[in-house]
Amino acid sequence: MKRVSPVAGALMPTTSKRIAGIAAAALLTAGLASPVAAEDGPIPIGLSLTQSPPGAVIQGEEVLRGHLIARDIINEEGVLDREIELHVQDSQGIPERGRSAVERLIERVGVVALSGQHQSSVCLAEIDVANRHNIPYMNTNCWSDDVRAAGYPQVFNPNIYNSRVAEAMGEAIAQLEGIESIHALAENTDWGIGQAEELGKYLAEHAPDIAYRHDLLDREAEDFTPVVQRIRSDQPDMVVAIMLPPAAYILMNQLAEQGVVPSDDTWLFEGGGLFSYPDFWDNVRDSAVNTIFFDLYHPEMPLSAFGERVRDEYVERYDGTPSRLVFQAADSLLLIAEAIRIAGSTDGDAMIEALQGIELEGSRGVITFSDEPGVLYQQWVDTPYVTFQVTELDQALEDTVFVSAPGVEVNIEALAR
């Protein structure tokens, strides 16, 4: 029988308690303290994007690809002799998931900047967190004006915004002959509602003779037939679609099913930049023919050396034409890297100051941020955009018909019906 010393027996629990106490204190300290990136290790950058439904997964995938390409390009030379390291969280396109994703990235991973978000409702939830932690937040693709109007110094917007999109679409619409009525269908999100309302405001001011109405559709809905029947009954001269996939694809197919488009009587104007998504032609057929698309990239656009590199890398890695989201994502990471380089550190205040005064050649132009309050706050005002028309089934982006761009008059003659 094994004998146990009464002294040892008495000491053992005390020792165990002490060890447990030290371990608990260590864990508590580790849990409470924000992790700090090692000064000589990789620089952690957080990405919050959609990787699973109900959000726009295809957008998330393109944004991720753009960041991965940019990361590899930047890491060839490094930043402050360190490499960029990306940490990805899935926001599912749900605001509360996005909020917890960026909390996790900041608190647990210790990221020095955030990037990647592409859905406005999620951006609006995430920027509060970035603001609270004073972490630079690069808005990769959230178009809602409210993201800018919040006025957070941590938030930078190297992409387009709703009222500018509405203005661009409105300019093109106003020049089309015979447009007397427009019916817009927008998803019930901050982006969709905002863009539909901004388009209405623009038309009321610049083309008051055009009767404009919009309906809000649930992005998780699957059958839009009743609203399409309403449109068929009203016979508007133009339908404007402001939705993201997969609901956008379903809507476009159901417009074609009811014979609304393509037709000689009704134009379809797509305002979400869907055409360059890799799965577009797998999911949308006849309704895309003769549709006018708004987008932020077209092969005819001039690209910088960085932009050409991003495009070539994309073609090599993914065997397809990059969408605008790839360039937007690459620009987002390039801006963060350049801010760290200018600041000489990953300190939040120093990076924000660097970004506020930055002048950087991105993929599609020189990026600077406005300091005008409101919708232009920390916005790249000269974001390039393009409108083009698809004229054939399975047409490639480079073969579409160029319609308009900033400073270029709408090429009405080029439009087919």
Residues near another protein, by CB under 8 A: 51-54, 57-58, 188, 215-218, 220-227, 229-230, 232-233, 245-246, 249-250, 253-254, 256-259, 279, 282-283, 286
Nearer to another protein, 224 or 377 (CB): 224
Omega before 136 within 30 of 0, i.e. cis:
no
- Omega prior to 246 cis, within 30 of 0: yes
Q: Which of residues 57 and 73 has its CB atom nearest to another protein in the complex?
A: 57
Toward another protein, which CB reaches closer, 116 or 246? 246
In the complex, minimum distance from the CB of residue 3 to another protein, in angstroms, rounded to a whole number? 48
CA within 13 Å, CB half, 374: 4
Residue 231 in 3-state DSSP? Answer: helix
Q: How far is the CB of 193 from another protein (least distance, A)?
A: 11
Residue 294 has φ and ψ, to the nearest 5°, of -95, 140
* Cβ at position 286, least distance to another protein in Å: 7
**22: number of Cβ within 10 Å:** 10
Exposure b/e, 370-409, CB count within 10 A at least 16 = b: beeeebbbbbbeebbbbbbbbbeeebebeebbbbbbeeee
Provide the β-strand partners of residue 137.
114, 155
Q: Which residue has the tokens 């083309």?
A: 207
Please report, for residues 42, 332, 352, the alpha-carbon distance to residue 80 in angstroms, rounded to integers and kept in the order given: 10, 18, 17
Q: Nearer to another protein by C-beta: 248 or 343?
A: 248
Q: How many CB atoms lie within 10 A of CB 348?
A: 18
CB of 344 to another protein, least distance (A): 40
Contact 318, 61 (CB under 8 A): no
Non-local CB neighbours of 14 within 8 Å, separated by 6+ positions: none
What is the DSSP annotation of 277-328?
STTHHHH--GGGTT-EEEES--TTS---HHHHHHHHHHHHHHSSPPPHHHHH
Closest approach of another protein to the CB of residue 351, in Å: 33
Report the residue number, 45 or 186, with the smaller CB distance to another protein.
186
Taking the least distance from each CB to another protein, the nearer of 133 and 219 is 219
Minimum CB–partner distance for residue 231 and another protein (Å): 10
We find the least distance from the C-beta atom of residue 86 to another protein, in angstroms, to be: 20
Judged by CB, which is closer to another protein: 321, or 368? 321
* 133: number of Cβ within 10 Å: 18
SS3 of residue 240 by DSSP:
strand
How far is 97 from 232, CA to CA, in rounded Å? 38
Least distance (Å) between residue 187 CB and another protein: 11
Q: Which is nearer to another protein, 15 or 229 (CB)?
A: 229
Residue whose CB is less far from another protein, 135 or 284? 284
**In the complex, what is the shortest distance from the CB of residue 244 to another protein, in angstroms, rounded to a whole number?**
11
Residue 47 beta carbon to another protein: minimum distance, rounded to whole angstroms: 16
Q: Nearer Cβ to another protein, position 51 or 181?
A: 51
Starting at the edge strand that comes first in sequence, how are the strands of the sheet with 211-217 ordered? 211-217, 181-187, 238-242, 267-270, 292-295, 386-389, 401-404
